[in-house]
């Protein structure tokens, strides 16, 4: 079965089984990659995620 359920309000059982705390489980992002993905696409996704994280952190801490 799938390791996640899109839109579910419950933590992913696979993450819980690995010992990830429930609150962290609810804040995870799952990416699926395949043989046709390029390193440029992977790097672009990583950069975009990092930028969103920076924005979210700065909005939570306006003095940071």
pLDDT exceeds cutoff 50 at 1: no
Q: What is the pLDDT of residue 19?
A: 97
User: For the segment 2-16, what is each residue's pLDDT rounded down to a tens digit?
Assistant: 555 667 788 999 999
User: For the segment 39-62, what is each residue's pLDDT rounded down to a tens digit?
Assistant: 999 999 999 999 999 999 999 876
Written as six digits, the tokens of 35 are 């043989």
Burial of 64 (0-12, 13-18, 19+ CB in 10 A): exposed
Is 3 in a helix, a strand, or coil?
Answer: coil
pLDDT exceeds cutoff 90 at 30: no
Q: What's the chain's length in residues?
A: 64
Mean pLDDT of 35-41: 98
Q: What is the pLDDT of residue 64?
A: 55
């Amino acid at each position: 079965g799938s390791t996640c359920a899109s839109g579910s309000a419950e933590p992913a059982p696979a993450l819980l089984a690995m010992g990830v705390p429930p609150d962290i489980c609810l804040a995870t992002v799952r990416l699926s990659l395949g043989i046709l993905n390029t390193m440029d696409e992977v790097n672009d996704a990583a950069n975009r995620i990092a930028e969103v994280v920076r924005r979210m952190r700065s909005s939570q801490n306006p003095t940071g």
